[in-house]
Amino acid sequence: MAHLEEALAEKPAILNEIAPADLPRVPLVANNRSFAWITEKVCGIAEGRTPVWWWWCFGVACFVASFTVCGLIYLVSTGVGVWGHRSPINWGWPIVNFVFWIGIGHAGTLISAILCLLRQKWRTSINRAAEAMTIFAVVCAGIFPVFHVGRVWYAWFLFPLPNSNWIWPQFRSPLEWDVFAVSTYGTVSVLFWYTGMIPDLATLRDRAKVKWRQIFYGVLAMGWRNSSRHWSNYEMAYLILAGIATPLVLSVHTIVSFDFAVSLIPGWHTTIFPPYFVAGAIFSGFGMVLTLMLPLRAVYKLEDLITQYHIDCMCKITLATGSMVGYAYMMEFFIAWYGANPNEGFTFINRAFGPYAWAYWIMISCNVITPQLFWFKKVRHNIPLVWILSLFVNVGMWFERFVIICTSLTRDFLPSSWGYISPTITDIFTFFGTFGVFSVLFLLFIRFLPIMPMAELKAVTPQADPHAGHGEHH
């Protein structure tokens, strides 16, 4: 070995001549933090005293979540009519909200699975929270398609259960595909999230001083003993799950987009929807990750773990997917014109200039114009601005779904049936309440579970590198 080192130590003469600039890799954990520091930092969040702000946030979140609960009780007891749907527009806010939430649920698994497979190590500090976000978003998303049906107590008809009448679900219906796609996605996301958490749960178990914590984390850690065999099995399981989850990231929103693309309503019936929806979902997912992680980073002082580099990466993905979405918007117009179907052409002109023009232009400004600011380093480095822009992305993506669903349905083939949908107070409150549901779950998550994968973080620190300290010489 020594011989080799010596040989390598000898710099080629040419290097002295051209004097290459020193381009160190940006460390994924800043300030050369030790393993112990990382453990203390992440476990400390779950183990420390419950902060006062947490209680305040939790209280407010519960209150907001009660809006959804009350809205749904009212809905089920009274009828779907309490929402603003009407004859030509039989899907309104609930389906908009469903697609919105399910879109948000995309970033988590994308970060965990696809970036894992692509060996993007910067994913480590954000993947746990992003996965949690995914699951909670899927929970919020799941509320809407279930409760928007007229007779929710028969929603189990959607499942292919054997029955004496020999009636099966309609397997040609995209809604039926949705049932499988979303439930599979939810299940795999939970498994993936949980599997990734096992070593960290064991750490928490080992550090726990109170009985209930020992039992709670002990059960969740499933007897993890940190043995090499465990690590070997764990890593293989994680890799396989990443492999399973990767196509799901693409399939779920593709299938959600089929709800529209498979129908024949102008403005829905387009082949561009699957890629466009997936891009949009990743776009909105990253918007939401930024919206959540930036405050978390500030509150728990996680700047060393979620570095500027991470934020840059997320901004760039947002920029890329935002541009894809913008391209899709243009392409829809082009095809509507090029296809020369007058109904199709009308729908798109109507989208941009008709009664819902306001929604369309909100969508365009939030989804196409906003992310373009991320071209600028100054913008990406201005954390409050990034956070505000991420909010715009979220708003824009809600409006995208609104525009697709509502403008297409309000003015379709027969002008005699044209209408206009506006939400009722129940629509608005039920949707608003889901942010409460989401927040409640997310607050519980940051309070009780390791919000970052400690084991993986340690693996990407400079100390974990066997060549630590030598890197700069190469």
Partner 1 sequence: MKRKPVAPPAPNERELTGPRYWRSLDELADTPGFREHVEREFPEGASTLEGVDRRQFFKLMAASFALGGLGLAGCRRPESYILPYSKSVEGLVPGLPLYFATAFPLRKTALPLLAETHQGRPTKLEGNPSYQPYGGASSLMAQASVLELYDPDRATTHTKNGSALDAAGLNDLLASVGKKHAADGGAGLAFLAAESSSPTRARLVARLRQKFPKAIWSEYEPVQDEPPLEAALTAFGAPVRPVYRFFNAKRIVSLDCDFLAAEAGNLLYSREFARLRRVRSKSDEMNRLYVAESGFTLTGSMADHRLRLASSHIFALAAALAARITGDQSYAKYAQGLEVDPKWLDACAADLLAHKSESLVVAGAHQPAAVHILAYAINDALGNIGETLDFLIIKPPPVASIGDLAAAIKAGTVKTLLVLDGNPAYNAPADLDFPALLKSVPEVIRYGYYVDETSQLAGAHIAAAHYLESWGDARTINGTVLPIQPMILPLFGGVTEIEVLARIAGEEAVDPYALVFATVTQLAGEPDAQAAFAKFLHDGFLHDSDFEKIPVELDRVRAERLFAAMSAPVALSKGNLEVRFAADYKVDDGRFINNGWLQECPDPITRLTWDNAILISPRLAKELGVDPPSLVVKVARRELADFQKGRENAFVGEVTIGARTVRGPLQIQPGLSNYTIVLPLGYGRADGAVGRVGTGSGFNAYAVRTVEAPHFVTGATLTVVAGARALLANTQEHWSMEGRDLIREANLEEYRQHPDFVRAIGLEAHSPPIYGEEGAKLSPAERATEGPAVRGNSLYVTPTFKGPQQWGMSIDLNVCTGCNACVVACQAENNIPIVGKDQVSRGREMHWIRIDRYYSSGSTDNNDIPEDPQASVQPLPCMQCELAPCEMVCPVNATVHDDDGLNAMAYNRCIGTRYCANNCPYKVRRFNYFDWNKRSIGHFYEGPLGPDGMPELVKMAKNPDVTVRMRGVMEKCTYCVQRIEAAKIQHKVKAAQAGNPADIIVPDGAIRTACQQACPVEAIIFGDILDPNTAVSKLKAQERDYGLLAYLNTRPRTTYLGKIRNPNPAMPDYAALPLSRVELRNKMGPAEEGEGNREPTTSGDHAALPSAAKLGGLS
Applying CB under 8 A, which residues contact partner 1? 74, 77-82, 84-91, 148-152, 154-155, 157-158, 167-170, 172-176, 178-179, 259, 262-265, 341-343, 346, 349-350, 353-355, 357, 409, 411-422
Contact 111, 132 (CB under 8 A): no
Which residue, 178 or 332, is less far from partner 1 as judged by CB? 178
The distance of closest approach from Cβ of residue 429 to partner 1 in the complex, given in angstroms and rounded to an integer, is 14
**In angstroms, rounded to a whole number, what is the distance separating the alpha carbons of residues 400 and 359?**
8
Nearer CB in complex with partner 1: 177/438: 177
Least distance in angstroms from the C-beta of 395 to partner 1: 21
Q: Which is nearer to partner 1, 174 or 450 (CB)?
A: 174
Nearer to partner 1, 74 or 429 (CB): 74
CA distances from 262 to 47, 144, 194, 324 (A): 50, 20, 35, 22
Q: Which is nearer to partner 1, 95 or 115 (CB)?
A: 95
CB of 436 vs partner 1, minimal distance in Å: 23
Question: Closest separation between CB of residue 103 and partner 1, Å?
Answer: 20
Among residues 352 and 385, whose Cβ is nearest to partner 1? 352
Nearer to partner 1, 117 or 349 (CB): 349
Q: Look at residues 113, 163, 104, 105 and name the one whose alpha carbon lies nearest to residue 135.
A: 105
What is the rounded CA–CA span in Å between residue 273 and residue 276?
Answer: 5
For residue 164, CA distances in Å to 65, 155, 226, 298, 382 come to: 40, 18, 51, 58, 63
Residue 343 C-beta: closest distance to partner 1, Å: 8
The whole-angstrom separation of Cα 110 and Cα 427 is 30
Q: For partner 1, give the closer residue by CB, 291 or 407.
A: 407
In the complex with partner 1, which residue's Cβ is closer, 121 or 269? 269
Please say which residue, 321 or 426, places its beta carbon nearer to partner 1. Answer: 426
C-beta atoms surrounding 320 within 10 Å: 16
User: Shortest gap between Cβ of 418 and partner 1 (angstroms)?
Assistant: 5
One-letter amino acid for residue 460 of the chain: V
- Please state the closest distance from residue 407 (CB atom) to partner 1, in A: 11
Least Å from the CB of residue 158 to partner 1: 6
Query: How far apart, in whole angstroms, are the C-alpha atoms of residue 127 and residue 107?
Result: 9
Query: CB of 341: closest distance to partner 1 in angstroms?
Result: 7
CA dihedral 135, 404, 263, 329 (to 10 degrees): -100
Quote the least distance from Cβ 95 to partner 1, whole Å. 9
